[in-house]
């Protein structure tokens, strides 16, 4: 089945540690996105990538890093510099970037990160 797979579903991190969240898609989509979701705040864009080997900062990129070495993979690293990392993280992909029919995004099931 085609789709987006995020792993793990739940992740616990000690303060001061870096952790990497996985996102894989087999939809052959060019664009991929990482969002952070906090209660009452909707989704906020962390990073996005329009094409392999290229990515752009979103609205809340500080304390996060990404890579896009392969079209199907867009891992997110939450670094120790992120002051409040506890949140629900959602990965998405879309066939293309830009306004129009191909702007529809498909979402993974999310990773809930908790700092302990």
DSSP letter at 101 equals G
SS3 23: strand
∠ CA 1-7-5, nearest 5°, is: 20
Q: Does 90 bind other proteins (CB under 8 A)?
A: yes
Q: Does 101 bind other proteins (CB under 8 A)?
A: yes
Least separation in angstroms between residue 19's CB and other proteins is 19
Q: Does 89 bind other proteins (CB under 8 A)?
A: no
**Reading across the β-sheet that carries 64-66, which strands appear in turn?**
4-7, 19-25, 76-78, 64-66
Strand partners, 88: 37, 112
Q: Does 50 bind other proteins (CB under 8 A)?
A: yes
Of the two residues 4 and 78, which places its CB atom closer to other proteins in the complex?
Answer: 4
Q: Does 109 bind other proteins (CB under 8 A)?
A: yes
Binding site for other proteins (CB under 8 A): 4, 6, 31, 33, 35, 40-45, 48, 50, 58, 88, 90, 92, 97-101, 103-110, 112
């Amino acid at each position: 089945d085609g789709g987006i797979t995020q792993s793990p579903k739940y992740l616990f991190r000690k303060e001061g540690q870096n952790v990497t969240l996985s996102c894989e898609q087999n939809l052959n989509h060019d664009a991929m996105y990482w969002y952070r979701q906090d209660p009452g705040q909707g989704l906020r864009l962390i990073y996005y990538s329009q094409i392999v080997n290229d990515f752009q900062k979103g609205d809340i990129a500080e304390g996060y890093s990404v890579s896009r070495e392969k079209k199907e993979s867009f891992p997110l690293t939450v670094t120790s510099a992120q002051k409040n990392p506890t949140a629900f993280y959602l990965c998405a992909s879309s066939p293309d970037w830009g306004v129009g029919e191909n702007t529809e995004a498909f979402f993974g099931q999310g990773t809930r990160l908790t700092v302990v």
